[in-house]
Structure 1
Amino acid sequence: MIYSFDQMHKKEAKPLTDGRKVPFWALPPDEALLYAKREIEHAPLLVDDADLYAPVFWNLSVFKRSYELMEKILKVYIYPDGSRPIFHSPELQGIYASEGWFMKLMEESRQFSVKDPKKAHLFYLPYSSRRLRDAVYTPGSHNIKPLAIFLRDYVNNISSKYPFWNRKGGSDHFLVACHDWGPYSTTSHTELRKNTIKALCNADTSEGIFIPGKDVSLPETTIKEPKRPLKYIGGKRLSQRPILAFYAGLMHGRVRPTLEKLWGNDTEGDIRIFRRLPRRVSRNMSYVEHMKSSRFCICPMGYEVNSPRIVEAIYYECVPVIIADNFVLPFEEVLNWSTFSVVIAEKDIADLKNILLAIPLRRYLKMQECVKRVQKHFLWHAKPEKYDLFHVILHSIWFSRLKQIQTPL
């Protein structure tokens, strides 16, 4: 049988537990998670939805049902421990702002945060990897071990002070870290590294720290004006995008120098690659205008696999071209990135232009439409809105936790 969402919404089940009928939102935490997992596994097929664009999802029915249950069930306990500025001090500006915006909105949330840890389904470690680096790292030392030791000591402290970590070895705990060194700060504590759900911008599978299927790929978002996080968002129609592909930025790492060697500083070519925008170019067209005037925006890895240009491209309705082997794309457990981006293997960089020119116009127009439609899931709002970036990050963490739950036969 096929249900529309409105019909499905009216069919809320009330599970039996110990012979009593209990509303699912009143179940003990573990039972509520088990109920949610069962419900998602049998999610009714949706035929339409006014709020979500089906082509960008692997399975819209599963995502919708999971998200709905998250809204109704999920409660998060935020540890009050930890001194500022490393803890409870969100930084809302710059390329690492994702961790700060999530922290701010999570701590402000009346819907998801809970004061009683016994009611919690998840436990949040509210530290900033960026501020941890600023506070602990010795510039020029090339030694990031002190960051890992600091976080190890913090986890040891909360595990001795509270009973919650030890119940499941930290598997119902999570952290959100966007700085490149976020993964490495977890390496001195075995349970933190292996069990805890890590939402990381540096979601690199080749290093053995990020664990696909458990950990979450956190989008890296550049926020220039915290009071106006949505400034400049929007794009142009295809007829106003004369540039085939564009990149401007630093040339570190193993990918970007190759791009520069092949197409560097060709201000007239189809592919425009700049170490930085020359003044003679930027006077006529800014960085943002270049992205809005390009059909494809190249998003190459730097020293690490993550790049803020992926979300920038989505903001400016430019199809992202992602070049970063071993990178787990944000929300790829629910989003089908092939509908709104192009992923190119590092070995194929020399063939970049041919790959992009081979994409038929009809397919490109569909991809750009998908970029526009998926944009809502990558936006920060001072007050979170349904399906926005705060909610979708939280959903990925919730979804990861549900995957850990064993369903009895």
Structure 2
Amino acid sequence: MHIMQKKLKVAKIRNELPGCNNRFTLTSSSSIKIISTKNPQAKDLDYFKYFLIIVLAVILLLVILTVLQFIDGGHGGLLYKKISLQPVRNAPEIIITNNLPESLPTNENCSYWDCFNVFRCGRTGHDRITVYVYPLEKYVDENDIPVTETISKEYYEILDTIINSNYYTANPNEACLFIPSIDTLNQDRIRSQLTAKVLERLPYWSNGTNHLFFNMLAGMAPEFSPVIELNTANAIIAGADFDTYTFRTGFDVSIPVYSPFAKLAEVKSLQGERPWLVISSQLSIDPYFHQELLDLQALHSKLLILDICEYHNYSKRCDIETDKVYKYPRILQKSKYCLVFRGERMGQLVLLEAMAAGCVPVIIMDGVVMPFSNVIDWKRAAVFIMEDYTNTLMSTLNGISKEKYKQLQKQTKWLYDKYFSSLKSIIATTLDIIQDRVYPQWGRIYDDWNIASDEKSTNPLFLPITAPRNEGFTAVILTYDRVASLYKLIEKLGKVPSLAKVIVVWNNQRKAPPPISNFPFIQKPIKIIQTKANKLSNRFYPFEEIETEAILSIDDDIIMLTADELEFGYEVWREFPDRLVGFPSRTHIWDNVTLSWKYESEWTNEISMVLTGAAFYHKYWNYLYTTGMPPEVKDWVDDRMNCEDIAMNFLVANVTNKPPIKVAPKKKFKCPECVNNEMLSADLGHMFERSKCVDFFTKAFGRMPLRSVEFRADPVLYKDPFPEKLKRFNDIGSL
């Protein structure tokens, strides 16, 4: 390649040479200076100079390339770029002869511990696996016949997915995993013996160690081996036809057979009537199973058996009883369950087609290794029936409750959307599985692989069930210029036993905060932080001065809360350290008129938000708000100077899938004694803006994470007819 580049460079230089009436000299700055002359006697001398300059240019180019390669040291840089998968004209042919050694046969006893060199991974400081794709080469035998087939569209997409993923590296010296650019998806396209010789010629082959092959159709007639029939030595195989006898647990990766027809079956919603209980649409099933289905159909009208029509068309299926033609695979959308039988191969197209249609797969294959079975719990999404018990099919399905079916169906659709909806998803999941093997300390757990984000109930803080009391909380007050109410608030905070520190976030850049000597004297330290910009998000910045786990976020005009109420709020937070625990509450509702989410402040028994004008939460959420909040949400808040409290509720609920906790009874905030005729219109405008925030945040997060709850935390013996001295928090609920 370098030689070709050099020749092109020389040709370019020659094309740029001046005519006979010009000569050129090299100046001290190595630029070319053109000097006009018409002396015919100098023509021979000029040609000699031209030739000399060309030779010097070629030598200089060689030196530059050599120096760059030396400096690069094999670590990427200028000489390593993403490979192009486009065909190269006149690519040099590599001749494979019978005299070359073959690769070793597939090692059936391989495990992660003895056939995978983990020391190749992470030695350059990466916290992820790095994958190198071999450049495309043209291999021919001695008769100039191609040894390897032209890569298929599917395999091209696989290579392209890897090259554009975060795992890809263009530097083979830092690669953890190697992908040959040889299409091995279909056994029928492989010339096994000669292809094995090609593998032996790969520069980093090393008996297949740390190499990965993709195969979806293994074996050939009549045996149809469940493993690709190719000498892959110690390489990992991501295959679709494994059974429990051939699958190397913890080493190989089981993948599905990708079906492009699955896209035609996809449903956006699982709502709608499904008249058929179960459909069999798989082609060329074993005659034994076919007869079993006929016997069942004679007794049950909810079983539909489809087969190929008289004219072969994969997008059509015919009822074997009435010859009625159905569009396939859309007919799968009309059935609750879809059958998946053992065929010539274990992997079947119908699996992904059924899942795309929201049809729960019924697996009737003994010894099958389901796709990604080492991380996916298929019992949550499929029904398994042993082959010898096919006659129990209808009774088994009729015995599944409606609630259980809905769970299976929802999980089926979620698995398809997440892992199987495209070749890109399948390949990305395969690499993710290997990533978790190499770096188990950062690996995903069962819930991450099997539970949708809106169903998880997680505590990311890893705190005890009840946080310790002795640490106390830090009060963070956001203020601009309301000094009088700020002082009153600090005086009240000073009476709360668990207060550890007060931090005043001064959001006014035009005016300096009052000196600390002017602040009320309390027994706890006060720290004033002046911000660089007037942004509401400043109240959620993870200031290093916050040393306690608990934060009380409070506005400078919330002066109606008593010391008992604040202390009790902190006690409640200790019981729910991963939640927002606050006083003023709000909820969200769906507006059927505007078809959007609406912010609602009516006092009802149902809440989904607590306002951070007076709320306790863990300081981790400040860090996550600053570093993990969708940027469009933070920009929305800061540009409109509104809705930072709604954004924080979205953030916490999106991670935990839990509702907030409201503390103490309903109470008027702000100034209940104020009377203003314009308050009603102002409130309507405020509610409209807040509703826009809720709807925008839902789109930014990709879902509605808020959870509604009818729950309120009150102290023990609250309003019970006991003497006041027996009650710990007496001053709660007063206006």
TM class by smaller structure: 0.5 to 0.7
Shift of 1:282: 4.8
Task: Read off the aligned partner of 2:420 and give its amino acid letter.
Answer: F
Q: Is the 8 A contact 2:177 2:212 kept in 1?
A: yes
2:158 alignment partner in structure 1: 102
Q: Is the 8 A contact 1:217 1:329 kept in 2?
A: yes
Shift of 1:366: 0.9
Alignment CA distance shift 1:291-1:172 (3 Å): same
Q: Does 1:205 align with 2:256?
A: no
Q: Deviations over 1:65-123 (max 9, x none)?
A: xxxx9xx522111122543787695434xxxx5x55423422x4253322211110101
Alignment of 1:143-158 (within 5 A): 147-158=191-202
Shift of 1:246: 0.4
Q: Is the 8 A contact 1:86 1:132 kept in 2?
A: no
- Give, in whole Å, the separation in 1 of the partners of 2:226 and 2:300: 42
Shift of 1:332: 1.2
Q: Does 1:79 align with 2:123?
A: no
Q: Is the 8 A contact 2:128 2:435 kept in 1?
A: no
CA RMSD, aligned part only? 3.4
Question: Could you tell me which of 142, 149, 152 is aligned with 1:91?
Answer: 152
- Give, in whole Å, the separation in 1 of the partners of 2:409 and 2:230: 43
Alignment CA distance shift 1:303-1:232 (3 Å): closer
Instruction: Provide structure 1 residue ranges, at least 5 long, that are not aligned to the other structure.
Output: 1-27, 37-68, 137-146, 404-409
1:8 alignment partner in structure 2: none
Alignment of 1:29-40 (within 5 A): 30=119, 32-33=121-122
Query: Could you tell which deviates more after superposition, 304-313 or 125-134?
Result: 125-134
Question: Could you tell me which of 174, 181, 189 is aligned with 1:119?
Answer: 174
Q: Is the 8 A contact 2:258 2:349 kept in 1?
A: yes
- Give, in whole Å, the separation in 1 of the partners of 2:332 and 2:434: 31
Q: Deviations over 1:37-67 (max 9, x none)?
A: xxxxxxxxxxxxxxxxxxxxxxxxxxxxxxx
- Give, in whole Å, the separation in 2 of the partners of 1:401 and 1:86: 34
Question: Could you tell me which of 384, 398, 407 is aligned with 1:357?
Answer: 398
Q: Deviations over 1:332-387 (max 9, x none)?
A: 11111111111111111111111111111111111111112212211117xx5xxx
- Give, in whole Å, the separation in 1 of the partners of 2:135 and 2:292: 46
Shift of 1:254: 6.6
Q: Is the 8 A contact 1:323 1:345 kept in 2?
A: yes
Alignment CA distance shift 1:253-1:235 (3 Å): farther
- Give, in whole Å, the separation in 1 of the partners of 2:299 and 2:334: 13
- Structure label with greater radius of gyration: 2
Aligned length: 303
Alignment CA distance shift 1:184-1:156 (3 Å): farther
Kindly indicate whether structure 1 or structure 2 has the higher relative contact order, using CA contacts under 8 Å at least 6 residues apart: 1
Q: Is the 8 A contact 2:151 2:183 kept in 1?
A: yes
Task: Read off the aligned partner of 2:176 and give its amino acid letter.
Answer: H
- Give, in whole Å, the separation in 1 of the partners of 2:395 and 2:369: 25
Q: Is the 8 A contact 1:299 1:309 kept in 2?
A: yes
- Give, in whole Å, the separation in 2 of the partners of 1:399 and 1:321: 29
Alignment CA distance shift 1:235-1:180 (3 Å): farther
2:327 alignment partner in structure 1: 286
Question: Could you tell me which of 248, 255, 267 is aligned with 2:281?
Answer: 248
Task: Read off the aligned partner of 1:198 and give its amino acid letter.
Answer: I
Q: Is the 8 A contact 1:29 1:120 kept in 2?
A: no
Shift of 1:152: 1.9
Q: Is the 8 A contact 2:124 2:174 kept in 1?
A: no
Q: Is the 8 A contact 1:236 1:293 kept in 2?
A: no
1:65 alignment partner in structure 2: none
- Give, in whole Å, the separation in 2 of the partners of 1:393 and 1:326: 21
Q: Does 1:272 align with 2:304?
A: yes
Alignment CA distance shift 1:152-1:378 (3 Å): same
Task: Read off the aligned partner of 1:338 and give its amino acid letter.
Answer: K
Question: Could you tell me which of 296, 306, 313 is aligned with 2:347?
Answer: 306
Q: Deviations over 1:102-152 (max 9, x none)?
A: 23422x425332221111010112322356624x6xxxxxxxxxx432332
Q: Is the 8 A contact 1:78 1:123 kept in 2?
A: yes
Question: Could you tell me which of 374, 377, 380 is aligned with 1:336?
Answer: 377
2:217 alignment partner in structure 1: 179
- Give, in whole Å, the separation in 2 of the partners of 1:254 and 1:306: 18
Q: Is the 8 A contact 2:274 2:336 kept in 1?
A: yes
Q: Deviations over 1:3-61 (max 9, x none)?
A: xxxxxxxxxxxxxxxxxxxxxxxxx972755999xxxxxxxxxxxxxxxxxxxxxxxxx
Task: Read off the aligned partner of 2:208 and give its amino acid letter.
Answer: G
Alignment CA distance shift 1:29-1:250 (3 Å): closer
Shift of 1:241: 0.6
Q: Does 1:317 align with 2:358?
A: yes
* SS of alignment partner, residue 73 of structure 1: coil
- Give, in whole Å, the separation in 2 of the partners of 1:400 and 1:177: 21
Query: Could you tell which deviates more after superposition, 147-156 or 82-91?
Result: 82-91
TM-score when scaled to structure 1?
Answer: 0.64
Shift of 1:239: 4.8
- Give, in whole Å, the separation in 1 of the partners of 2:349 and 2:270: 23
Alignment CA distance shift 1:315-1:308 (3 Å): same
Question: Could you tell me which of 373, 376, 379 is aligned with 2:421?
Answer: 379
- Give, in whole Å, the separation in 1 of the partners of 2:346 and 2:267: 26
* SS of alignment partner, residue 133 of structure 1: helix
TM-score when scaled to structure 2?
Answer: 0.37
Q: Is the 8 A contact 2:187 2:228 kept in 1?
A: no
Alignment CA distance shift 1:185-1:329 (3 Å): closer
- Give, in whole Å, the separation in 1 of the partners of 2:285 and 2:124: 48
Q: Is the 8 A contact 1:235 1:292 kept in 2?
A: no
Q: Deviations over 1:277-307 (max 9, x none)?
A: 3376654x42223210000011112112111
* SS of alignment partner, residue 296 of structure 1: strand
Structure number with the higher helix fraction is: 1
Alignment of 1:20-35 (within 5 A): 30=119, 32-33=121-122
Alignment CA distance shift 1:73-1:297 (3 Å): same
Shift of 1:318: 0.7
- Give, in whole Å, the separation in 1 of the partners of 2:433 and 2:270: 32
Q: Is the 8 A contact 1:29 1:121 kept in 2?
A: yes
- Give, in whole Å, the separation in 2 of the partners of 1:100 and 1:254: 37
Q: Is the 8 A contact 1:254 1:303 kept in 2?
A: no
- Give, in whole Å, the separation in 1 of the partners of 2:148 and 2:437: 24
* SS of alignment partner, residue 129 of structure 1: coil
